[in-house]
């Protein structure tokens, strides 16, 4: 058997990647390694790299077939471990093929739905699957080079110069932990910081008593409900006022909140580990992710739509959204999405789309200013103006309603009983009556008690002229309502929710909507007609191109409303919510382990640094409009607000910032605004980063703790809405860690995020960690104490009686399990200890799951007849009462409750025009790269060494530009077109022009992932030794710094003030030839 082993084709040698080869003369490998050999702080100069040198050439050498031999070692089950990729967020299930302890090839796993379609039966033996490979993209195959990147950090680094100066010194793990916990004159060696005292975490851990914190939290809620005054609060807690950030504003919370932990790409397992440390043990409310830089407004519109009426209020909405059942759909409109290049993603969707097209089962349309790879396969490409997606959707809504192409029976269902009678899994509030205020503003739903028909928790519809009251989840009573109502009921002016949607859609003609979009009116009609010609097997699927605008929330709401008009939720070939995952934390009955158990759990309270899920008007900070910064009652994980808010000290200053696997400087639009804050230790006194390299953001840290790669660690990647099966892929260690070994709680563990948190917990004496960390007899002293118990919960299944459990692994599987891990050191794999953690009852079931890389429901189990098995199955709202009754913290105006079109605006609601800047800047994604972290993979750079500035040929001619010309990208808020790194260096945003026909005139785009100045792209100094950077990592242009800064916020990009998204696609620029 011969097989291609991916290697770097920039090298010229043709070397056989066999175990016997000792040739490491590949110029790519040697040149890179020479650069970092000067220090053992980086992988390239470490003893670990030297010990694996005989394999390093095959990781950096040209692609070739392996030489014939008597046996093909990579086809043996004992040389394969199953895990989950993290080269992008799709999270494909993968096989790591290992020789002599080194990953030499990565392929797709046949067990999971992302890497094989259909995936094999879960009970298939791993002994039989060794020769069955799934499909993955180039990024996944190149993950080997992420693992063995010579610029990986392997020991703790402490800043030796000013922030951002990239001067470092190595220090022992124990010393770093001591300094972070106790603070002091930590940087007296740095000029200008001789007398700067850093507050340690021990001092910030102010409120430690769970009872006291809960009492304070309850009383802050009473202040917000006007049941307690601030003075009464201060009198009650007079002995503890020193523990608060500001006693005059107790709702800011305790000083504990001045610890902020932010992350980029985080998955389950580590998410719970971090939450346990930050929230449960330390008591800070400030643990925040990056959702709003990805597709935040898509998530948070979905959350608002999925709120349910429980206990007299709208609550319980999931931070989630719906996607197409791609394998069974007949028509999909991809709007702001290109699944053949990105969007959860090519391995999972490409085969379904391609086969659907070949078999004439599937027709697709693509709405995108760029002629993407997906558009090239489409029935229709609609090159829309960026930011006008709601206008397109509203035009479709108008046509669908006026031509009566909507699903009347579905939309008339007002409650669960009516939906059930029609065999509909879901229903909407389309027929519910909404009160209209004297100024014409829609507000709350009409309640039955207001017209004498029932209680305050019953809603009202009109049916044949008669009002009917109902309960939302009443399964027995069938209530249907008229869809288009504009009348007076009981003296109260009302309109039905769908009437409000129609009025929004009918506020312009289809021709006027088309003009806003910059397309032909016939395009809208064609899309609407085709969309309504397939029953429930049609989908309009949005992604980043819809959500990442200042109007993203309403763009998404408009698109989702289009879907609800045909009632396609939970139907085969329609919109699905995903099969979800098995409960790994033990929150459901019967589970072997309840990982939320904690001997002294705190209840964090107060306003977060990003002011999320709180109404401005309720707080003690309310002082009229506009607020100093926006508030986000409907969003969370507002990435772009964390550092700028800390810089402004609003709502309070912070003392310590931890950053995990995130690079807001590189990833955010206008990310350069973060640099000025990060570079100033007076604004954020302590910054600690957990990173595998010195990145564009971690270069401003005070301490860098090296982390494990995704091939060395535990995580539970979860699922996506487009996966109809229930799946729980497990990311598990497949190779020995390349970081140094440290000791925590008397245990030797690899230096990692977990080691950092365990070390801090041990030093501070935080409850919830260490011996008896869960409860008596259940320790938390190592990562496996946490993660193996999660695997056991997955193995148990989700039925409380245990009938859903996986079988025990056979003796042959146990033998394979041990043999396949023979290369792992005891710091990672100790089978006796592992069995002790989960117990003999669960041990073989854990082996069964890990031998398959997780747990995966069989392919055909995802559907029941014409519906999906795992259903959303409840109310999906087209009118959002909670949103409609909330005021903007910026303008004081009430927010719209239905889909509307809004122009591009700043935080104060002022339309942005930027006259004089002729081009509209957007971004796109090549399949070869993932934002900030795949530039380290030389195989990918060989496929595409640099990105380009794509523009329409007409624009190029008008500007006198030709292919290959170099241009600088400038904007109203970055007229110099540079990244100012605040270390004396300015990086210009200069790229190479590529004129194309497949771009809307007036729009320019660049691919994310290029143009780095860190992650090994620039020189650094460690222990006084200069380590030269690799210029290949700096190639191309990263134009995020050209993206517009908000005129009111000053230090933040444009934002969606409702949905929370950053704006990637609303900046006007000029390109200037250089």
pLDDT over 80 at 2, yes or no: no
Quickly tell me which residue has 């022009």 as its tokens: 993
Distance CA(677)–CA(1030), nearest Å, equals 27
The DSSP letter of residue 334 is: E
What CATH architecture applies to the domain 323-576+872-884? 3-Layer(aba) Sandwich (3.40)
Distance CA(370)–CA(999), nearest Å, equals 5
Strands (E), 48-136: 64-65, 80-84, 93-99, 102-108
- Res 58: pLDDT: 66
Helix H or strand E segment including 675: helix 672-678
Contacts of 866 (CB under 8 A, 6+ apart): 536, 571, 572
The count of residues in the chain is 1074
- Res 71: pLDDT: 85
- Res 40: pLDDT: 85
pLDDT over 60 at 559, yes or no: yes
- Res 21: pLDDT: 30
Q: What is the dihedral of CA 580, 366, 330, 430, to 10 degrees?
A: 70
Q: Which of 17-26, 698-707, 912-921, 994-1003 has the lowest mean pLDDT?
A: 17-26
Once rounded to an integer, what is the mean pLDDT over residues 312-317? 97
Residue 1036 contacts residue 935 (beta carbons within 8 Å): no
Task: Say whether 363 sits in a helix, a strand or coil.
Answer: strand
pLDDT in tens, 787-834: 999 999 999 999 999 999 999 999 999 999 999 999 999 999 999 999
Residue 892 contacts residue 973 (beta carbons within 8 Å): no
Quickly tell me which residue has 């990833």 as its tokens: 667
Helix, strand, coil percentages for the chain (3-state, nearest 5):
30, 20, 50
Residue of 1042, 1032, 982 lying closest to 1012 (CA atoms): 1032
Quickly tell me which residue has 């993950």 as its tokens: 143
- Res 609: pLDDT: 99
pLDDT over 90 at 33, yes or no: no
Work out the percent of the chain whose per-residue pLDDT is above 90: 93
Torsion angles phi and psi, residue 44, rounded to 5: -60, -25
Cα separations in angstroms, 409 against 66, 558, 569: 62, 21, 14
- Res 12: pLDDT: 28
- Res 345: pLDDT: 81
- Res 70: pLDDT: 74
Residue 683 contacts residue 647 (beta carbons within 8 Å): yes
pLDDT in tens, 442-464: 999 999 999 999 999 999 999 99
Distance CA(209)–CA(396), nearest Å, equals 57
pLDDT over 90 at 320, yes or no: yes
pLDDT over 90 at 395, yes or no: yes
Residue 933: which pLDDT band, with cuts at 50, 70 and 90? confident
Residue 22: which pLDDT band, with cuts at 50, 70 and 90? very low
Distance CA(112)–CA(581), nearest Å, equals 13
Residue 1023: which pLDDT band, with cuts at 50, 70 and 90? very high
Other beta carbons within 10 angstroms of residue 351's beta carbon come to: 16
pLDDT over 80 at 63, yes or no: no
- Res 37: pLDDT: 63
pLDDT in tens, 236-260: 999 999 999 999 999 999 999 999 9
Q: Which two tokens stand for residue 972?
A: 């109203």
- Res 545: pLDDT: 98
Once rounded to an integer, what is the mean pLDDT over residues 926-931? 90
Residue 3: which pLDDT band, with cuts at 50, 70 and 90? very low
Contacts of 487 (CB under 8 A, 6+ apart): 462, 493, 494, 495
Any alpha helices (H) in 359-435, and if so which ranges?
Answer: 389-402, 408-412, 416-421
pLDDT over 80 at 729, yes or no: yes
Burial 490-512 (b: 16+ CB within 10 A, else e): eeebbbbbbbbbbebbeebebee
- Res 7: pLDDT: 32
Cα separations in angstroms, 471 against 183, 427, 499, 806: 57, 13, 21, 40
Distance CA(836)–CA(824), nearest Å, equals 18
Average pLDDT, the chain: 95
- Domain edges within the chain: 4-147, 323-576+872-884, 919-1073
Once rounded to an integer, what is the mean pLDDT over residues 706-718? 98
Residue 497 contacts residue 434 (beta carbons within 8 Å): yes
Does domain 919-1073 fall under CATH 2.40.40.20? My reply is yes
Quickly tell me which residue has 């029932």 as its tokens: 454
Task: Say whether 248 sits in a helix, a strand or coil.
Answer: coil
Residue 48: which pLDDT band, with cuts at 50, 70 and 90? low
Residue of 947, 953, 965 lying closest to 1074 (CA atoms): 965
Q: Which two tokens stand for residue 919?
A: 């081009």
Q: What is the tally of helices (H) and strands (E) in the chain? A: 32, 47
First to last CA, the chain: 52
pLDDT over 50 at 53, yes or no: yes
The DSSP letter of residue 26 is: -
Distance CA(351)–CA(609), nearest Å, equals 44
Distant-in-sequence contacts of 232-240, Cβ < 8 A, 24+ apart: 240/207, 240/212, 240/216
Distance CA(649)–CA(110), nearest Å, equals 51
The crossing angle, in degrees rounded to 10, of helices 389-402 and 521-531 is 60
Residue of 871, 863, 875, 864 lying closest to 410 (CA atoms): 875
Residue 428 contacts residue 569 (beta carbons within 8 Å): no
- Res 571: pLDDT: 99
Does domain 4-147 fall under CATH 2.20.25.90? My reply is yes
pLDDT over 90 at 945, yes or no: yes
pLDDT in tens, 155-176: 999 999 999 999 999 999 999 9
């Amino acid at each position: 058997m011969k097989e291609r082993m991916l290697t770097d084709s920039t090298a010229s040698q043709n070397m056989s990647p066999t175990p016997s080869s000792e040739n490491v003369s590949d110029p790519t490998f040697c040149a890179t390694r020479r650069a970092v050999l000067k220090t053992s702080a980086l992988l390239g100069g470490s003893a670990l790299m030297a010990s694996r040198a005989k394999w390093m050439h095959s990781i950096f050498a040209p692609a070739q077939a392996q030489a014939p031999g008597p046996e093909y070692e990579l086809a043996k089950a004992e040389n394969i471990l199953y895990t989950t990729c993290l080269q992008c967020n799709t999270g494909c299930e993968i096989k790591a093929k290992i020789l002599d302890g080194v990953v030499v090839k990565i392929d797709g796993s046949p067990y999971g739905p992302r890497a094989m379609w259909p995936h094999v039966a879960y009970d298939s033996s791993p002994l039989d699957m060794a020769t069955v490979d799934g499909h993955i993209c180039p990024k996944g195959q190149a993950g080997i080079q992420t693992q063995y990147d010579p610029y990986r950090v392997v020991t703790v680094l402490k800043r030796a110069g000013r922030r951002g100066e990239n001067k470092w010194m190595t220090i022992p793990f124990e010393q770093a932990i001591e300094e972070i916990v106790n603070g002091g004159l930590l940087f007296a060696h740095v000029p200008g910081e001789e007398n700067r005292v850093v507050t340690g975490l021990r001092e910030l851990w102010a409120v430690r008593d769970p009872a006291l914190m809960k009492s304070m939290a309850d009383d802050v809620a009473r202040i917000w409900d006007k049941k307690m005054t601030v003075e009464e609060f201060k009198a009650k807690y007079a002995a503890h006022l020193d523990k608060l950030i500001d006693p005059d504003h107790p709702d800011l919370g305790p000083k504990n909140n001045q610890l902020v932990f932010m992350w980029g790409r985080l998955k389950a397992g580590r998410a719970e580990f971090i939450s346990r440390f930050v929230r449960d043990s330390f008591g800070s409310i400030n643990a925040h992710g990056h959702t709003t830089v990805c597709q935040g407004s898509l998530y948070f519109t979905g959350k608002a739509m999925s709120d349910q009426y429980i206990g007299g209020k709208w609550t319980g909405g999931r931070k989630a959204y719906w996607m197409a059942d791609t394998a069974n759909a007949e028509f999909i409109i991809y709007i702001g999405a290109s699944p053949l290049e990105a969007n959860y993603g090519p391995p999972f969707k490409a085969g379904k789309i391609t086969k659907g097209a070949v078999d004439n089962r599937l027709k697709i349309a693509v709405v995108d200013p760029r002629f993407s790879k997906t558009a090239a396969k489409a029935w229709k490409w609609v090159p829309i103006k960026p930011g006008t997606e709601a206008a397109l959707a509203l035009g479709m809504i108008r046509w669908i309603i006026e031509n009566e192409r909507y699903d009347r029976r579905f939309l008339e269902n007002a409650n669960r009983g009516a939906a059930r009678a029609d065999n509909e899994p879901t229903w909407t509030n389309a027929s519910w009556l909404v009160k209209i205020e004297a100024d014409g503003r829609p507000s709350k739903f009409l309640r039955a008690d207001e017209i004498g028909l029932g209680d305050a928790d019953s809603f009202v519809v009109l049916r044949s002229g008669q009002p009917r009251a109902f309960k939302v989840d009443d399964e027995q009573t069938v209530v249907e309502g008229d869809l288009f109502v504009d009348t007076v009921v009981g003296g109260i002016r009302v309109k039905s929710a769908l009437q409000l949607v129609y009025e929004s859609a009918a506020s312009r003609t289809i021709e006027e909507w088309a003009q806003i979009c910059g397309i032909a009116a016939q395009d809208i009609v064609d899309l609407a007609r085709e969309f309504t010609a397939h029953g429930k097997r049609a989908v309009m699927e949005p992604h980043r191109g819809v959500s990442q605008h200042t109007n993203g929330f309403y763009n998404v709401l408009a698109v989702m409303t289009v879907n609800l008009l045909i009632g396609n939720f939970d139907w085969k070939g329609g919109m699905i919510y995903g099969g979800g995952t098995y409960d790994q934390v033990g929150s459901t009955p019967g589970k072997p382990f309840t990982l939320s158990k904690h001997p002294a759990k705190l209840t964090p309270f107060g306003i977060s640094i990003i002011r999320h899920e709180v109404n401005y008007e309720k707080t003690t900070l309310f002082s009229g409009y506009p607020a100093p910064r926006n508030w986000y009652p409907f969003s969370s994980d507002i990435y772009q607000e964390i550092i700028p808010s800390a810089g402004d000290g609003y709502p309070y200053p912070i003392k310590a910032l931890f950053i995990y696997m995130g690079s807001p400087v590189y990833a955010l639009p206008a990310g350069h605004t973060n640099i000025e804050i990060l570079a100033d230790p007076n604004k954020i006194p302590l910054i600690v980063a957990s990173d595998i390299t010195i990145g564009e953001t971690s270069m401003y840290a005070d301490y860098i703790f090296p982390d494990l790669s995704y091939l060395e660690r535990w995580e539970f990647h979860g699922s996506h809405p487009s996966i109809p099966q229930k799946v729980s892929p497990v990311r598990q260690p497949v190779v020995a860690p390349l970081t140094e070994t440290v000791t925590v709680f008397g245990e030797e563990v690899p230096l990692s995020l977990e080691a950092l948190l365990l070390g801090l917990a041990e030093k501070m004496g935080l409850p919830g960690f260490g011996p008896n960390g869960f409860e008596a007899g259940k320790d938390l002293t190592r990562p496996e104490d946490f993660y193996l118990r999660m695997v056991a919960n997955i193995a148990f299944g989700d039925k409380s009686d245990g009938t859903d459990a996986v079988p025990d692994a056979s003796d042959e599987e146990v033998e394979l399990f041990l043999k396949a891990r023979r290369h792992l050191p005891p710091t990672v794999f100790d089978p006796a200890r592992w069995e002790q953690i989960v117990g003999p009852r669960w041990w073989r079931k854990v082996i069964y799951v890990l031998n398959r890389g997780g747990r995966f429901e069989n392919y055909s189990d995802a559907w029941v007849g014409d519906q999906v098995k795992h259903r959303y199955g409840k109310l999906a709202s087209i009118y959002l009462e909670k949103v409609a009754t909330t005021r903007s913290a910026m303008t004081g105006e009430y927010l719209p409750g239905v889909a509307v079109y809004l122009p591009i605006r700043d935080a104060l609601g002022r339309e942005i025009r930027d006259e004089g800047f002729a081009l509209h800047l957007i971004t796109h994604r090549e399949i070869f790269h993932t934002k900030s972290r795949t530039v380290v993979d030389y195989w990918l750079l060989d496929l595409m060494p640099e990105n380009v500035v794509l523009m329409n040929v007409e624009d190029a001619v008008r500007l006198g530009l030709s292919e290959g010309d170099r241009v600088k990208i400038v904007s109203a808020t970055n007229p110099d077109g540079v990244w100012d790194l605040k270390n004396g260096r300015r990086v210009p945003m200069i790229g190479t022009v590529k004129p194309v026909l497949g771009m809307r005139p007036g729009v320019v785009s660049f691919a994310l992932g290029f143009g780095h100045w860190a992650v090994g792209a620039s020189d650094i100094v460690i222990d006084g030794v200069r380590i030269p950077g690799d210029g290949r990592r700096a190639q191309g242009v990263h134009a995020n710094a050209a993206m517009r800064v908000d005129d009111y916020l000053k230090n933040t990009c444009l934002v969606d003030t409702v949905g929370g998204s950053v704006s990637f696609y609303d900046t006007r620029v000029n390109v200037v030839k250089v």
